[in-house]
Chain A
């Protein structure tokens, strides 16, 4: 069964600091996604990672994928208040029964 786990679940950090969010998944996946959700809002796509070693960066966020370890990371560099949101990773797999599974999310709060 495909399971996706994120840690930490909650993260409070000071502006200017760096931190990493981890996403582990349990079985072979075709694609790994990162989404952002602002409070009371919908989800927006940040990155899609398609292969082992893939790295995507936009602004202060960088995502990477290690398919052998079944691990993706979302690294935050020099955090700013505008990055405060909940971040979800998700995986999908066409092996067997198709699944698109989200992690439980990491709620990030950046303190000024």
Chain B
């Protein structure tokens, strides 16, 4: 019953460092998403992948890149971290646009950029 697994759970970076957040789902879902959550701003979509082999920008894509490695895995990369990227990051997956598209979320990654 793993669902959506994110790693790491916590990370502290210095400005300019790079890192990759990993996400994997075991529900055979077609679509995957990356969000950031900041106080008072709800969840904002960074990137999504409607299906394996495709990725598209969301509301706030600047400073991030993604890779849909296969159907199970969707990674988020920060090439040069900035303090403004301090946030909680959530990965989610869903069956896809043709279905009810309920999203299932991972536990989140708490990232601090100093």
Contacts and interface: CB of A to CB of B under 8 A. Distances in A.
- Interface of chain B, main secondary structure: loop
Contact of A98 (B40, B50, B105): B50
- Interface of chain A, main secondary structure: strand
Q: What band does the interface of chain B fall in when counting residues whose beta carbon is under 8 Å from A?
A: 20 to 34
A54 to B, nearest CB: 12
Nearest to A33: B102
Interface of B: 33, 35, 40-45, 48, 50, 56, 58-59, 90, 92, 97, 100-108
Given A44-B105, A90-B43, 17 more contacts: A31-B101, A42-B90, A43-B103, A43-B105, A45-B102, A48-B100, A48-B101, A48-B102, A50-B100, A92-B97, A97-B56, A98-B50, A99-B45, A99-B58, A100-B48, A100-B58, A101-B45
